[in-house]
Amino acid sequence: MLASIPVPDTDFGPSTVKYFPSIGWWLLPLLSLVAIFLFCAPRAAAETSGLPPIDARAYILMNADTGAIIATKNAYQPYAIASITKLMTLYLLFKDIDSGHLQMNQHFVPCRTALQTRGSSMFMHPGLPFSVAQMILGMTVPSGNDAAVEAAHLVAGSVPAFVTEMNQTARKIGMLSTTYYDPDGLPHPNNMSSPYDVAVLTRTIMTQFPQFMPFFGHKNFTYAGITSPNPNLLVGRVPFITGMKSGYTDAAGHCLVATGTQDGVKLIAVILGVPSFHNERRGFWKASWQSLKLLDWGFARTLWLPAAPHLERTSAP
């Protein structure tokens, strides 16, 4: 193998000993091997990883079935997560429905707190009924803050009680560095999570409540006569994409949790802090593209190279 590697011509004759009299002849072959290693090591590392550049502050790629971590960058450091917060809100709502406290076809009118919530919206109106199913879609597609606050009231009676439950649940399911302040992800210093924690939560939802996964696969959502698109631009466009949640604030940048399934293999890509643009849709296009690159790379290693399990431990710098 070493003989096939081109190495610059080196004269280890008498002149070498003349200028480096302390170097014995026994050491010269060792120095040759060191030089070869230093010349080739960066190139070899790049060829074995093959991970395309991912323009984001932090990310993780996880196998949803096994929990194996395939690729990471700053994966255990907490960052602002914007509306990725709503994944915990949805998880607690799913638990509440599963317990029988709420039913999918139940109808409510929005509470005052929900109507007063600013930011992204499913466009709740005073006195206009909505179903629990519509409320879920209001969070998964247009990322409605009004829907998230309404869910908090329906599940726990108030936002503070719900936030307490959010933080307790995060500890229970193994989220290591997450803190929540609100159910919607509006900017606050306490709304922080890491790519690893978000992947753990996403995997928990996929494992415990697969029946709710179709809610994350809608390209558009219409309520109150208004049709809102899904900021996850992979949904409805890439066949193997199954969801899952977008988020954006100035502090968080563009964030995206993208899930996909191919040949029975389920992967989770969490990307936080894609550089922001004044054009928000352009930013989500970039976040979607980074997620697609990460998932495509992961499926290539998982499905096409099954005889190389060590690749599941590949970590990008």
Q: Mind telling me the catalytic residues?
A: 83, 86, 143
Specify which residues 277 forms β-bridges with.
Answer: none
265-274, strands of its sheet edge to edge? 69-73, 58-63, 265-274, 253-262, 241-249
CA dihedral 151, 156, 161, 167 (to 10 degrees): -70
Do 91 and 205 form a contact (C-beta atoms < 8 A)?
yes
DSSP label at residue 75: T
Residue 245 known to bind ligand:
yes
* CA–CA distance, 83 with 144 (Å, rounded to integer): 9
DSSP state of 275: P
SS3 of residue 61 by DSSP:
strand
What the block records as the tokens of 217 is 């696969």
Ramachandran bin of 243, using left for φ above 0, alpha for ψ from -120 to 50, beta for the remaining angles? left
Give the residue ranges of the annotated binding site.
245
Give the residue ranges of the annotated binding site for substrate.
245
